[in-house]
Structure 1
Amino acid sequence: MSPSPPKRICIVGAGASGMSAAYAFSKHPDKFTVTVFDKQSVAGGMATSIDIDPSKYGATYINDGVQGCSPAFANTLRMFKTLEFEATEVGMQISFGKGEDFWSNVFPSKLVAEYKKDIAKFGRALSVIKTFEVAFAMIPVHAMLRIFRFSSGFGERMVYPLVALFFGTGNQTPYISSAILERVFMDPSMKLFEYNDKSLLASIPTMLAFPKLHDAYQAWKEDVESRGNVHFRFNCEVLRVVSRTAKESGPVQIEFKASDADSGNGPQIAAFDELILAIDADSALKLLGKEATWKEKRILGSVKYLYDVTITHNDLDYMDKYYEIRYNPKLNAPLASEDDAQQRQEMEEAFDFASKSFRPLYYTMQYAQDRSKIEMSFDLTHYQPQFRGEQPAGPIPSDDPANQQYNGGLPDHAQKARDETARKAGEAVRTGQDEKGVSEPPLEKHVFQTIFLDKDGSQDLWTFNEIDKDKRIYEKWWKQQSHRWQHYATVVPWMMFINGKQNTHYAGAWSVLNMHELAVTSGFAAAYRLGADYPFHGDEDCERLFRLYLGLSHGTRMRKEDRKGFFA
């Protein structure tokens, strides 16, 4: 009996989810032939890198759109490590608000002292939300704050900025699911913070800054291509899904058009056995067109998107005007008479640490006209390690042997990212020092990013025009998923009813929560449903989220041979 021919897979989108699916399929060159379409010229989707002038800013590039992750993001980190790229540890210091609205996880401020009763109550609220998570998934944050009788100021000045910053929920934060808030603190696969009943955030958690994403994704592409069964079609736009039930050539037929000058005579038709749409929900719905079922129209059409703009700049005056970028002892919480000796000592130690080592990565500012709406900024010089002389591959010793999977050496871009000369670019600009004494650019040379959120709903509040045009480096518009509570009522629980139907699977962080880790996991899940192995099987840290995603978005468990115990 002759072996079955390889299954033909079409993947639309070469971001984190599409690349993950392609990687899983590439491990089975005898079972699958795969074509990945993307209208961009390189892989990565939102995970991009931008060249900057090292003689001005002290580094040759920035990572744009995706900066880093929590150490709990096991699939992302394992994938990069497989490609011989490493993330860099950095202390996640935060600066929320300005003046009387300021608070931080570095030292206790007057605002923290003002809301100490709410902060103490917050831990009990998290426990209740976790116990009744299904119910609270349908309750927006603003309603949850009223249910637990938190003061309005605590929600507006502390809870909203915290959630908005780390989940990209922006000006939709009051309307997002309360379950997300609990996950920030309590989910082992997704949490970013430890809760503290006195300061809300416990100390300074370790964050991981990504290596150069352009090089990592190019190495990812090279690795996938090396096994011979996956082919990439960049600068090639899929125009529509012609059919998913065709009787001849293959059930899935797509129409595509290459954008380069040598693309031939216009649109072409290609046939496949299965389709993975690793793109955002409304783009998927547009491609399906008349082919979309009523379920797909209802579920995909319920994902709401917002339009934001990011300005990368070097305007220190703007940052000084709207954020607390330096330690200011006037903002210290008072040493209360009722505090015991240990509490007073801890506070004084925090003030002393901040006086020497206050270097925030993240900032938020609330608009005075509407305190439920915010603006976000990043100090990329504090955040990204290339400004301190790290190589694009991350902190991997240059003499580290290539991973054993690479019989012929590392992929070209992985090798290029280890080039020691990259450390030296911009060295002359690094006349300052970080808290460990490592050279970095001084504050007036820092690269910042400011994100203005929700064009349609908040543009009248933006301070967009106040950033000096001569100090702007780059401007980029983004299409961002909204995490309204309705998303967890009308999209997330229903994905399992459209995944796998009509030879179609969906992959993307939008299917649950806007995180790089979920994008990676979603791509692995789509490939797994079509018969590929889960690449990191046996790694419990990675597999925990994979099992959860597979059950939530596909309504299935791992295959019998891959699981231990009935509930695994």
Structure 2
Amino acid sequence: MTTPIADSKKRVCIVGAGASGMAAAYALSKHPEKYQVTVFDKEDNPGGMATSIDIDSEKFGAPYINDGVQGCSPAFANTIRMFRMLGYEPTQVGMQISFGKDKDFWSNVFPTELTTQFQKDIVKFGTALKIIKKLEVVFALIPVHVMLRIFRFSKDFGEKMVYPLVALFFGTGNQTPYISSAILVGFYPLHFNIHTDYYGPQERVFMDSSMRLFEYSKKSLLASIPTMYAFPKLHDVYQAWMTNILTSGSVNFKLQHTVTRVVTRESKQAGVVHIEYRTSKGSNDTIHTDVFDELILAVDADSALRLLGQQASWMERRVLGSVKYLHDVTITHNDIEYMKKHYEVTYNPAYNASLPPEAPAQEQDEAKEAFSFAEKHFRPLYYTKQYPEDKTKIEMSFDLTHYQPQFRGEKPEGPINLKGTSNREHEVDDIGEGQAGVSARTGRDAEGTAEPPLNAHVFQTIFLDRDGSQHLWTWDEIPEDKRVYEKWWKQQSHRWQHYARVVPFMMFINGKHHTHFAGAWSVLNMHELAVTSGFAAAYRLGADFPFKGDSDCERLFKLYLGLSHGVRLRREDRQGTLG
């Protein structure tokens, strides 16, 4: 009797169709002769946190917003290349930030009185970063609030400048005082030496230098206006991603299906991994079962632990159980009065830093140039405010109209020329067809670009840490008629314990019991790390790295593979471009 072709393939179950699950499915789909893959997700669309929602284009000047994930650094090579291969192009945007309010206001757009007040602390902070970089293994276990005391920084400097900056860029929210000080070396390349022979001595990094989100300035703490990317319409990106994966014929998506538990990972009959699942919506509560050879849990850590249940090993319970999650709520709204009350939304020359007459002429000229630029072009994307009752805790907001390109008339697939491209990072030859969309333009900004007026802007305000900070929230000040959408979500805490109890031990649970774990939570909450983690899980199962030959993409992949899986590249890859 001839064995069916499907029976000769390795059957892989992927739980979760977010960035990590989609990346794993994509890599495996490139080998249809080797794998038969089933992707489960409880939602009716892929994407996880990367979602889009429709809004009133007549009222707000655009037909949709990206709701959960906004954009990325230009260094996020795997994300950018993946999107471009699908025919979607991120849009460059200047990352202007408005920190604090009134006398506590500062920005990366122009120098303010607050940066003058903390000038000595800012200079000393640069020295502290160099010391942290040299002693990174030690400072990985020291929380930020302790580090600030070690270097004798003023309490106000930590609360008004360090905490808001780190919380914004690394998504650490109200846990910022308790995160690992090593994260601060994001100002610099963040090295984490783990003396192995995977890629050579002294070349291990916890976070590659190209992942740096911002640069230190001894004058203003945050240097200049970084160039960031705003994502195209994420709903369409992930639909195109799923369509691309399906063309292999070896992947099946079971959307609106919830995996309820992993029954066993040790069976010798019909398959190693047995799972149970049911439909996510409707009245059908029938439990179904299926069998697989390998399991990729591309879900958050506590969901993975819940699915494993009694099947979880002692080490899995220890590592996954050490990931702490916080519950936040994002309110998308159109309340300009709320924004003006709690943030500095427009340029106010009263906050300009006053330079002494003896200041060098170049310094004075640079300040005047910055003031002139701010007067004409101050349009923050990000805002932070501190609660007066507890200045270690903050609230964050986005101006989506300033941030997302569709409000300036860009199409959902982004500024991409499908007939030909040139001089773009992470260039690809096999560019796909993006979804055509229509633009909606209302008003004009200072540069003549289509953009709605300020009172028609769409904002998002994130109220952080329900369990520890809800008593401070001012969310009841946003009236119902100004609210567009409300979304509860959870994110990992980047406490120092995460880098002591989780990150170093991922390699001891990945690949054990026919199970791999994928998700940004394994290191740091970034879309790029989610994508890379999915590629790494597929690679461990024998798939190729999809972007072999692209050094920018390979760099983080190699680092993640060594850090979270504790393995070297396969021999043929070490001899080639991945080596």
User: What band does the TM-score fall into relative to the shorter chain?
Assistant: over 0.9
Q: How does 1:503-522 map to 2 (within 5 A)?
A: 503-522=514-533
Task: Return the match for 1:490 from 498, 501, 513.
Answer: 501
Q: Percent identity?
A: 67
Q: Measure how far apart 1:183 and its partner are.
A: 2.0
Letter in 2 for 1:368: P
> 1:50 maps to which residue?
53
CA distance in 2, matches of 1:150, 1:172: 19
Asked if structure 2 preserves the Cα contact closer than 8 Å seen for 1:185 and 1:192, the reply is: no
The structure-2 alpha-carbon separation of the partners of 1:82 and 1:502, relative to structure 1 and needing over 3 Å to count, comes to same
1:202 Cα deviation after fit? 1.3
- Secondary structure at the aligned position of 1:375 is classed as strand
Task: Pick which of 188-197 and 65-74 moved more.
Answer: 188-197
**2:388 matched residue in structure 1:** 368
Over 3 Å counting, the alpha-carbon distance change for 1:223 and 1:115 in structure 2 is: same
Alignment of structure 1 residues 291-302 onto 2, 5 Å:
291-302=311-322
Question: Who is 1:198 aligned against?
Answer: 219
Give the C-alpha shift of residue 564 in structure 1: 5.0
* Correspondence for 2:201: none
**Secondary structure of 2:249 counterpart:** coil
Aligned ranges 1:288-327 → 2 under 5 Å: 288-327=308-347
In structure 2, C-alpha distance between the alignment counterparts of 1:285 and 1:450, rounded to whole Å = 31
Aligned to 1:93: 96
Q: What is the letter of the counterpart of residue 18 of structure 1?
A: G
* Equivalent in the alignment of 1:388: 408
Aligned position for 1:165: 168
Change (3 A) 1:403 1:100: closer
Match of 1:217 in 2: 238
Q: Is the 8 A contact 1:379 1:447 kept in 2?
A: yes
Which among 501, 506, 509 is matched to residue 512 of structure 2?
501
1:333 matched residue in structure 2: 353
Q: Distance in 2 between the 1:314 and 1:566 partners?
A: 50
In the TM superposition, residue 399 of structure 1 has moved relative to its aligned partner by: 4.2
1:479 maps to 490
Task: Indicate the residue corresponding to 1:357 in structure 2.
Answer: 377
Residue of structure 1 aligned with 2:443, choices 427, 431, 437 = 431
1:545 aligned partner: 556
Which residue does the alignment assign to 1:230? Answer: 251
- The correspondence for 2:156, drawn from 145, 153, 166, is 153
Conserved? CA contact 2:549–2:578, under 8 Å: no
Aligned-partner residue type, residue 312 of structure 1? T
Q: Structure 1 residue 188: deviation in Å?
A: 2.1
Query: What is the CA–CA distance in structure 1 between the aligned matches of 2:578 and 2:558, rounded to whole Å?
Result: 10
Matched-pair contact (CA < 8 Å) for 1:184–1:190: no
- Deviations 1:147-198, CA, capped at 9 Å, x for gaps: 1111111111001001101111100000001111112443423211121111
What does residue range 20-35 of structure 1 map to in structure 2 within 5 Å? 20-35=23-38
Choose from 455, 458, 464 the match for 1:447.
458
> Does residue 76 of the first structure (1) align with residue 42 of the second (2)?
no
Q: Separation in 1 of the partners of 2:316 and 2:357?
A: 61
Structure 1 CA distance for aligned equivalents of residues 400 and 38 of structure 2: 36
Letter in 1 for 2:530: A
**Secondary structure of residue in 2 paired with 1:432:** coil
Counterparts in 2 of 1:567 and 1:71: CA distance versus 1, 3 Å: closer
Q: 2:428, 2:545 → 1: CA distance?
A: 20
Shift in Å at residue 519 of structure 1?
0.3
Contact 1:84 1:403 in 2 (8 A): no
- Give the aligned partner of residue 542 of structure 2: 531
5+ unaligned residues in a row in structure 1: which ranges? Answer: none
> Normalised by the size of structure 2, how large is the TM-score?
0.93
Amino acid aligned to 1:64: D
Q: Is the 8 A contact 2:330 2:488 kept in 1?
A: yes
Aligned to 1:131: 134
Q: Structure 2, unaligned stretches of length 5 or more? A: 190-207, 422-426
- State the Cα distance separating 1:512 from its structure 2 match: 0.4
Whether the 8 Å CA contact 1:432–1:441 is kept in 2: the answer is: yes
Contact 1:512 1:518 in 2 (8 A): yes
- Deviation of residue 397 (structure 1)? 2.4
- Paired residues of 2:233 and 2:412 also in contact (CA < 8 A): yes
Matched, 1:280 2:292: no
Whether the 8 Å CA contact 1:10–1:274 is kept in 2: the answer is: yes
Code of the residue aligned with 1:382 in structure 2: it is H
After TM superposition, give the deviation of residue 563 of structure 1 in Å: 2.1
Q: How far did 1:260 drift?
A: 4.8
Residues 105-158 of structure 1: CA deviation (Å, up to 9, x unaligned): 000000000111111112221111111111111110111111111111111100
Q: How far apart are the structure 1 equivalents of 2:500 and 2:264? A: 30
Cα distance in structure 2, aligned partners of 1:152 and 1:209: 34
Report the Cα distance in structure 1 between the residues aligned to 2:210 and 2:15, rounded to whole angstroms.
27
2:280 counterpart residue number? 259
515 and 252 in structure 1: CA distance in 2 versus 1, 3 angstrom threshold: same
Instruction: Provide the C-alpha distance between the structure 1 equivalents of 2:480 and 2:281, rounded to a whole number of angstroms.
Output: 33
AA aligned to 1:388 is R
Preserved contact between residue 72 and residue 188 of structure 1 (Cα < 8 Å): no
1:259 Cα deviation (Å)? 3.1
Deviation at 1:294, TM superposition (A): 0.8
Q: Does 1:181 align with 2:184?
A: yes
Take 2:522 and 2:210, find their aligned partners in 1: how far apart are those partners?
17
Aligned partner letter, 1:222: T
How far apart, CA to CA, are the structure 2 residues paired with 1:262 and 1:345? 69
User: Shift in Å at residue 262 of structure 1?
Assistant: 9.0
Amino acid at match of 1:143: V
Instruction: Write the distance in 2 (CA, Å) between the matches of 1:238 and 1:418.
Output: 35
Aligned partners of 1:398 and 1:418 also within 8 Å? no
Q: Deviations over 1:183-222 (max 9, x none)?
A: 2443423211121111111111101000000000000000
CA positional deviation for 1:66 = 0.3
- Which residue is 1:110 aligned to? 113
Matched length: 553
Residue identity opposite 2:444 in structure 1: G
Between 333-342 and 370-379, the greater mean CA deviation after superposition:
333-342
- In structure 2, the partner of 1:245 is 266
Amino acid at match of 2:436: R
Shift of 1:431: 1.2
Farther-moved stretch of structure 1 (370-379 vs 532-541): 532-541
One-letter amino acid of the counterpart of residue 479, structure 1? K
* 1:473 Cα deviation after fit: 0.3
Q: Quote the RMSD (CA, aligned, Å).
A: 1.9
Aligned partner of 2:194 in structure 1 is none
Rate the CA distance shift 1:497–1:531 in 2: closer, same or farther, 3 A: same
Code of the residue aligned with 1:257 in structure 2: it is R
- How far residue 243 of structure 1 moved from its aligned partner, in angstroms, is 0.4
Q: Distance in 1 between matches of 2:466 and 2:450?
A: 38
**Quick check: 201-210 or 116-125, which moved more?**
116-125
Q: Does 1:346 align with 2:366?
A: yes
Q: 2: CA distance between counterparts of 1:496 and 1:203?
A: 38
Q: CA deviation at 1:403?
A: 7.6
